[in-house]
Amino acid sequence: MSLDEQDRFLTETMERDEPRLRSFIRRRVKDTEDAEDILQEVFYELVETYRLMKPVEQATGWMFTVARNRITDMFRKKKPSSLQEPVVDDASLTLEDLLPSKDAGPEAAYARAVLMDVIEDALDELPDAQREVFLAHEVEGLSFKEISDATGVGINTLLSRKRYAVVHLRERLEEMKDVFGK
């Protein structure tokens, strides 16, 4: 990839993913300046990685992983009051954070469609309680408190059910690594 192609790719990727990535970081980092610093670090690492001729196949997923790592690093260095809840575990990930971006081109659109089919099949395999909390949180966008209020089930139980659902989905998606060469 030529330098001009790299620049074009990096610019398009950053412009496309910046709003979602900023939102992802801001949900976890209380201080606006710290959140912006993390966002810039992620973009810097993306540029550096490409300049070292180590292109990233799934740039969006890679950036979210780097952002989670930077948030964790910041949490370790600072006192907890500088963060909202230090939520960087699997339960804090949304489905949209993990899928290829809708705007990343035809290959990403195909990968997204295949992954959605696998996810739908995997959701059908889940026990009702796990599927319901996963869908309420991921698809309907309800908070765990809202789900708890509606169902009478405790938040910790809901978190646990969602975690089991995520673990099952992850295992099913592991099978897709061979398909996409990752």
Predicted confidence (pLDDT) per residue in 4-23, tens digit = 887 888 888 888 888 888 88
* Residues facing residue 83 across a β-bridge: 29
Give the CATH number, domain containing residue 51. 1.10.1740
The alpha-helical segments, DSSP class H, found in 54-127 are 59-77, 95-98, 106-125
- Residue pLDDT, tens place only, 53-77: 666 767 788 888 888 888 877 777 7
Residues 60 and 73 in one domain: yes
Number of domains composing the chain: 2
181: left (phi over 0), alpha (psi -120 to 50) or beta: left
What backbone torsions phi and psi does residue 46 show, to the nearest 5 degrees?
Answer: -65, -45
Domain around 70:
1-88
Judged by DSSP in three states, 83 sits in strand
**Per-residue pLDDT at 127:** 92
Residue 38 near residue 71 (C-beta atoms within 8 A) = yes
Task: Report the amino acid identity of residue 164.
Answer: Y
Residue 25 near residue 39 (C-beta atoms within 8 A) = yes
Residues 111 and 151 in one domain: yes
Q: Where among 70, 88, 106 does a domain terminate? A: 88
**Per-residue pLDDT at 90:** 47
Q: How large is the average pLDDT for residues 38-47?
A: 87
* Residue of 175, 26, 165, 17 lying closest to 91 (CA atoms): 165
Residues 108 and 35 in one domain: no
**pTM, to two decimals:** 0.44
Mean pLDDT of the chain: 77
Residues 81 and 106 in one domain: no
- Residue pLDDT, tens place only, 114-149: 777 777 888 889 899 998 998 888 777 788 889 999
What gap in Å lies between CA 25 and CA 79, rounded to an integer?
18
